[in-house]
Amino acid sequence: MTRYDRVIPPGGTGQITLGIDTSRVREEFHKKAIVWSNDPVRKSVALYLMGEVKPHISLVPGGYLALQGVKGRVPGEKLEIINNHKQPFKITGVDNDLPDHIKWRLEEIKPGYAYTLAVEDISKKAGEFSGHLIVRTDQPQKPELVIIVNGYIKEN
Amino acid sequence: MIKNIIKLFIELIFLIIIVLFGSLLFAEQSESTPVIHFDQITHTFSAVFEGEQLSHSFKLINQGTADLEILDVTHS
């Protein structure tokens, strides 16, 4: 979103308003806008906006788990779910679209603020699979978290 | 005598040229122009949660003697 005064008389003041939708911005950001005018000496002026966007809930180290190994001996993987708000939240459910390949376990580290989600491979056959775990929360800004799960299971 | 008249004539021509150039230069310098000025060209927002709408208004002053026209604002 950009708004600006088109004509400023001599001695007058004007405004250039720049906006940022942070829905698609992560962590620290630097945005640059260039103002073009009829000033013969300074035809363009660069303006800079900086800041930091925090996720409502963080997935550490990330929203992706890879299960790799020999069938029956695949090391489990886990991630942490961290609430970045002061208000606690609840995990109301976890949906799994890979019921034949994985089982999950949720542990509370700090109720309302930090959880561990552990995933194990239970595949009966070797092969590759890909799917999701959907973690549902009661936090209105982030009612669900999508975790991608990929498996690369080898035969003995 | 004629030599002196020619010399005087040449000097007069030179003088006219100098005066003409000077007045042209002066006219050019005094032509009114806009001058854009920002007190601040950077702004740092405090940390926010994803999904919030942020906006900031940069103030500018026209320090020149003609209308300042903002032609475009582009993003990179």
Are residues A39 and A70 part of one domain?
A: no
pTM to 2 decimals?
0.69
Q: What is the pLDDT of residue B23?
A: 55
Do residue A15 and residue B43 have CB atoms under 8 angstroms apart?
no
Are residues A35 and A75 part of one domain?
A: no
Tell me whether B72 touches chain A (CB under 8 Å): yes
Q: How confident is the model at residue B9 (pLDDT cuts 50, 70, 90)?
A: confident
Are residues A17 and A76 part of one domain?
A: no
Are residues A91 and A129 part of one domain?
A: yes
Establish whether the linkage from the previous residue to A61 is cis, with ω within 30° of 0.
Answer: yes
Structure tokens at B69: 């026209």
Instruction: Read off φ and ψ for residue B2, nearest 5 degrees.
Output: -65, -40
Are residues A123 and A83 part of one domain?
A: yes
CB A14 within 8 A of CB A3: no
Are residues A80 and A9 part of one domain?
A: no
CATH number at residue A145: 2.60.40.10
Q: Which of A6, A16, A27, A57 is the mutation pick for testing B, counting most B CBs within 10 A?
A: A16
pLDDT 10s digits, A4-47: 999 999 999 999 999 999 988 888 999 999 999 999 999 999 99
* Inter-chain Cβ pairs, chain A and chain B, closer than 8 A: 172
Q: How many domains is chain A partitioned into structurally?
A: 2
pLDDT 10s digits, A74-131: 999 999 999 999 999 999 999 999 999 999 999 999 999 999 999 999 999 999 999 9
3-state secondary structure of A93: strand
A26 interaction partners in chain B (CB closer than 8 Å): 50
Nearest residue, CB atoms, B53 vs list A4, A21, A45: A21
Nearest residue, CB atoms, A50 vs list B42, B58, B75: B42
Is the pLDDT at B73 greater than 80, yes or no? yes
For B14-68, give the DSSP string: HHHHHHHHHHHHHHHHTS----EEES--EEEPPPEETT-EEEEEEEEEE-SSS-E
How far are the Cα atoms of A16, A41, A70, B17, B46 from residue B72, in angstroms, in the given order?
11, 16, 60, 43, 28
Are residues A84 and A38 part of one domain?
A: no
Residue among A115, A99, A92 nearest A149 (CA): A99
Q: Which of B32, B49, B63, B65 is the mutation pick for testing A, counting most A CBs within 10 A?
A: B49
Are residues A13 and A79 part of one domain?
A: no
Q: Which domain holds residue A78?
A: 57-154
Do residue B36 and residue A22 have CB atoms under 8 angstroms apart?
no
Are residues A121 and A68 part of one domain?
A: yes
